[in-house]
Structure formats: C-alpha cells, structure tokens
Structure 1
C-alpha cells in the first residue's frame, strides 16, 4: 500500500513538474536548448523533494524483476518476497545407524534431511526445538484429519512436543485402527486432534457440519486423503470432484469467521513404490499412472494455493521421493524422518504466515 505521505508527494510533484514545464514550453518553444535546460532543472528539483517517499532503485529493481533461480531465496529474503515456495527444497543424506531405530528402520543406514545452509540462512528456515515449537503453538488447537499418512504426521508432532517417554506411551492409542485421537500439552495450552477421515466426503462433512457447529475452529487445520479412494474407487475424475467439494467447504468455513481463519494445509499423496505394496489389489490399483492422475487433480481442482485454493500443499510426494525406497517398508508408509520434514515445513510456514498476518 502507498502511504498518504507518498500520495501527497506524488501530487505535489506533478504540480511542481508539469505546470512550470508547460509554461516553459509555451514561452520557450523556439529555444529548444533553453527549454531542455529548464525541464532538466525542474525534474532534478522534483526528484530531490520526492526521493524520501520512494524506494531505492536497487530495491525497486529487485521487487520488480525477481525471478526464482539459484540465488532466489536470498533475493526473496532481501526484497520481502515470501520464502514459502522454497520450503520443500530439502536435501537428504545418510545418517548414522543409531538413527535407524528411532525412525523405525530395521537397521543399517537411515536417511536424514536438512535445508541447504545458504537457503536456511537466507530465509531463516530452522528445525524447531521442543521449546520453540511449544512457544509457536502456544494456546493453539491443531487438528489433523485424514488417513494413515495424517496419523503419521500427528505422531511426528507428538514426538516433537512431548518428551520421549510420553510420546512412546501415546503411540499405541494414536494407532488404534480407524479411530480418532486427542492429546494435550497442558503446560502450553496446546490441543492436538486426529480425526479418522479416509475419504474426501469425510473431510467435507467435517468442514461443513462438525466444525461449523463448533464454538471454535482449529488454529491449524491439516487435511489429506486419496489413498483409500485410489484403492477402492480408482477413478481420478471422481477424486477431483470430491476435492472440489472439500475446497468449497473449506472456503465457506473461512468466510464468515469473525476471527482470523485457520492456517490450512493439504497433506499430499506419498510416492508409491508399486512392487513393495503388500496386497494384489494395491499393486493393481495404486500404480504410477494412477498416482500422477490423482496428483493432477490436486493441482487443478481449486484446492491448493496457486490454483486459487485455501490450502498450502505439504508435498509429501516430493519428500518421499527424495528420501527414496530405503525409507519405506511397504511402499506407501515412510519412516519418521519423512514426516518430521513435513512437520517442520509446516511449522516454518506457520512462522512466515504469522509474521505476514501481523
């Protein structure tokens, strides 16, 4: 937004610049050198008086001609452009075998992730400690709804917020088959809900009915689905129609709220390793062609930002591909380090969005 002072400066500049130049042109049209000199003098005078209200030339160039590239994150940070598009640019490397047990691997080498140092420095991306994450989510209600992928994200969140013994004690209850789950971090007033919602119709009902009738909406809302639809329906167009309903319900939930709307995230589909899937039905229906068709519907149905949607995409597919086949035992569910990366991308996005809302 242009400030009132800048607007007043522009109006005054127009008066000072064009009135004398018009008069000079009328009186001095026969003497082009004298006219040019007078015009240059007036222009320089206006420039001196107007300069306090205008951005510097380098800043103007940076904001007007910003093009993502190798140094894009640095340019984004310096020009105030959001760093959100760079959140998924993580690197994967082998970790010591000691980390394998913590991430559910059977042994050997585990994989760990990080942001490149230059990107982390330029945009301020960081893995949050338990204290920092608790402070960020202080007093918040976090709701995650979906299938087993969503459940694994909740596990990553609990492992970050709770001490190891408490997180381990919560895991069996969280993974009760086809059930909801609720946890709390009383010291920080944080509530965490997992809602079992494997189909898109479950998510639409949650948005249109359950949350609309609730006295409060979540501060952070993470939704995701598609695996059950792919297995049991196997129709990308039908999935897209269902996603459009989810998008419409999410937009209607946001619009009438007297308070800031929830931060909304969509949990993308993982990369599927077809030959590792553990049933014939999964191997038949959950192949690469079908996965690409389902991902295309996510991009095209007004669900995620960039397509006019309300959800910021958590690109699980990109992260699982980066980690590789060694990070999955069944070709669908991945090790804890993957969902830790998803979680920290979400938390860093919350930091950025919270700053932008101030």
Structure 2
C-alpha cells in the first residue's frame, strides 16, 4: 500500500511544477493551460484504469508481510495459513528412543511402561516449525476436549486410536481399569471421563456400510458429536476384495456426511425461532486411513493373498477418487496411518497389521493439533 505514496507525490509534483517550468520558458498562457489540462486528464484517467492492469496494480500495491498472530480470525490470509498448517500435520519423523526420552515418557505416564522403543517428532523445516505443533499433554487435552462428545467408529485400528486417546486423557492407571471392556471382541464401547465431562463412544464398524448406517442414525436423532473419527477398509479388503465396490460405498458415505452439514450440536436445545445464522458447520471430521500391510507377517494365507500392496493402493485410490477427504475437497481430514506405519517400519508390528502404540499416539496428536487449528486456538 505504502509503495503507492511516492507515485502519488510524483504525479502531484508533475501537475504542479511542470506548468510552472513551462511558464518560466515564456510559453504562451494558452499553451500552458492546454498542456496542464491535458496532463491532469491523462493522470486522472491513468489512476482510474490502473486497477484493470494487474501488473501495474501489483507494482503499486505490494502486499506487506504479515505475521500469523496479527491476522484477525476469519480473514482469507488467516484461512490460507491455517489450511497450510493443516496439510503439514503429517510432517513427522520417527527414530529410536534414547535414554532421556524413555525417562521423560515414564515421568509423564507415571509408569515404567511409558518407555517406548521408538519416538517421533514434527520436522523442524521453516514452514512446519512456524505452525507451532506441540505434543499436547493431559492438562491441554482436558481443556481442548472439555464437555465434548467424541465418536470413534471403525475396526481394530480405530480401537487402538481410542486406547491412545484415553491413555492421554485418563493416564495408564485409568486405562488398566477399562482395557478389558474396551477390547471385548467386535463390540461397541462407551465411557465418560467425568473429570472433564468428555463422552467417548467407540462403534464397531468394520465396513463402510456400517459407517453409513451410523450417519443415518445421527440424521434421524438430530444429535451430532463434536468430533467424529471413522475409517474402514481392512475387512472389506479381506472379505469383499473389490476396490470398485468399496469406492461406491465411500461415495454414498460422503453424500451422507455432506447432507449432515451444517448441523446443530443438539437441535432440541435450540429455540424454534432460532435464526438461520445460528447454524454451524462442524469441521471436526476425520478419516482413519488403512495401515501399511506387511504381507509376509500376516497370520493367514487368505490375508497374504488378498491384502497386498496392489490392493492397498487400489483402496487408497478410491478414497482419493471419491473426494471423501478434505485434501481433495471433501469433508473429512485424513489421518494417514499408512504413512505413519511406514515410518515406524516392521519393527513396530508383530502381525503386519496392528502396530505399536507410538503410531496411534502420533495420529492422536495430529488429530488434536488439527482440532486446535480448526478451533482457532493458540498454545
């Protein structure tokens, strides 16, 4: 903006001093007036036409650099920066833990079991470092999820996400009390963390059609969770093994999710006369990707035959093609478990499908930092 000021001063000086100089050269008054008027009109027309010539406008109005903290919430630049950080959430590295990290983990969890073989962190490249991602601890998570209703729906991968989330919120001792109920085979599980008023429901939903039915229930009951984390694919890959049919199911799911937005948290609590502006569009929707499958470690012949890299790629392609993910313009933000499990590698799994807690811990932290970004909260 300020680059245009010298240009304006130059134009004003031209209109004022050039005619005076001409008068000094003893030109006739009529010629001087004619030149002055012509110059003034030319400059006036030029000023009005400048916006229609981008190259000139860009030269005159160069945007200044603005820090993230100085941007008001809701501005276009702020949204662009937030989206950039959202899509940098998976910029992590994994490495073998050292002694000090094991000690820190044990202190944080009040248990020797806190020491893990692998550790992870966000990369410190310029753009990622500027986003300020942090591994949130219990006090921060308690504030972030205070009073929230969280739904996690899917297969065993989703159940492992619940374990990591609840360990973070309740601590290892709290998890010991509920682990048996949580891991009842192919069953739902619900709990309330009274300390922060957070309700968490795990829905056993190994097929996409199960997720579709869940979305229909939300629509029928007109009551919607604050956070929805869902994902399915492994069971379909094993028992159906048809990527095209999987894509058709994903398209139906996407249409239902979009139909639920915008929504009220609970329509029964809203006055019937509420204005249209009271509607909100929840963006706390996550898709749990399938893990990297190590065929040689899978425990049945059928799994080794059907759950190979070719089929995994085909299923991932269907997720992208159907535009279910926000990365491709859809409603759900992907938690890329395949990427995280590939980073961790074979040393992090005993069956080629289910991985050590470090993978799901990282995925939970990515989700929580995404919630911070979407909520416009700073740390």
Question: Normalization by structure 2: what TM-score?
Answer: 0.72
How many residues align? The count is: 311
Tell me the residue number matched to 1:333. 354
The equivalent of 1:128 in structure 2 is 136
Partners of 1:55 and 1:315 lie apart in 2 by 41
Return structure 1 stretches of 4+ with deviation > 4 angstroms.
27-34, 40-43, 76-79, 97-103
Q: Give 1:116-195 correspondences, 5 Å limit.
A: 116-118=123-125, 121-195=129-203
Partner of 1:35: 39
The residue number in structure 1 matching 2:315 is 294
RMSD (Å) for aligned C-alpha atoms:
3.9
- Which 10-residue stretch deviates more, 79-88 or 161-170? 79-88
Q: Distance between the aligned counterparts of 1:236 and 1:135, measured in 2?
A: 41
Deviation at 1:308, TM superposition (A): 2.9
Equivalent residue in structure 2 for 1:235, among 242, 246, 250 = 242
- Offset of residue 56 of structure 1: 5.8
Once the two structures are overlaid, the 10-residue window that deviates more, 29-38 or 199-208, is 29-38
What residue number does 1:67 align with? none
Structure 1 residue 34, shift from structure 2 partner: 7.0
Question: Displacement, 1:262?
Answer: 5.4
Give the Cα–Cα distance (whole angstroms) in 2 for the partners of residues 77 and 325 of structure 1: 40
1:80 positional shift = 3.5
What do the CA deviations read for 1:224-258 (whole angstroms, capped 9, x no partner)? 00000000000100110111111111111224544
Q: Structure 1: 5+ residue runs without aligned partners?
A: 1-5, 7-12, 21-26, 48-53, 64-75
The Cα shift of 1:40 comes to: 8.7
Matched position secondary structure for 2:184:
coil
> CA offset at residue 309 of structure 1?
1.5
Tell me, in whole angstroms, the C-alpha distance in 1 between the residues paired with 2:168 and 2:186.
Answer: 24
What residue number does 1:58 align with? 64
The CA deviation string for residues 18-57 of structure 1, in whole angstroms up to 9 with x for no partner, is xx9xxxxxx99985997289729995xx99xxxxxx9862
Greater CA deviation, 178-187 or 93-102?
93-102
Aligned match of 1:346: 367
What are structure 2's unaligned runs of at least 5 residues?
2-7, 16-30, 52-59, 69-76, 265-278
What is the TM-score when the length of structure 1 is the normalising length?
A: 0.76
Bigger-Rg structure (1/2): 2
Question: For 2:61 and 2:181, how far apart are their aligned partners in 1?
Answer: 56
Q: Equivalent of 2:120, from 110, 113, 116?
A: 113
Question: What is the DSSP-based 3-state SS (H/G/I as helix, E as strand, rest coil) of the residue aligned with 2:135?
Answer: coil
Contact 1:277 1:331 in 2 (8 A): yes
Please say if 1:205 is aligned against 2:213.
Answer: yes
> In 2 relative to 1, CA 237–37 (structure 1 residues): closer, same or farther, beyond 3 Å?
same
- Residue 268 (structure 2) pairs with residue 247 (structure 1): no
The 2-side partners of 1:78 and 1:245 are apart by 29
- What per-residue deviation string (whole Å, max 9, x for no partner) do you get for residues 307-336 of structure 1? 331101111111111111111111111110
Q: 1:151 to 1:78 in 2, by over 3 A?
A: closer
Matched residue, 2:226: 219
